[in-house]
Amino acid sequence: MHIRMAILFAGLIGLMVFMVAALDNPYRGKINVSPEPLERVYSQMFLFRSRR
């Protein structure tokens, strides 16, 4: 029983490390996120601050 739990725990830790590495930089790779929405929000926030 203890061996199975240790193997399961090691597998989960390995999966977490893999996911952190895979999702480390969302702006590169085959499946990526465009920075345009974040840039638009940033520019709108800057305009809102400058109007005050």
How does pLDDT run across 1-50, given as a tens digit for each residue? 999 999 999 999 999 999 998 888 777 777 777 888 889 998 888 877 66
> Are 32 and 40 in contact, with CB atoms under 8 Å apart?
no
pLDDT of the residue at 35: 84
Closest CA to 31 of 22, 39, 40, 21: 22
Angle, CA 36 vertex, CA 34 and CA 39 arms, to 5°:
130
Predicted TM-score of the model (pTM): 0.51
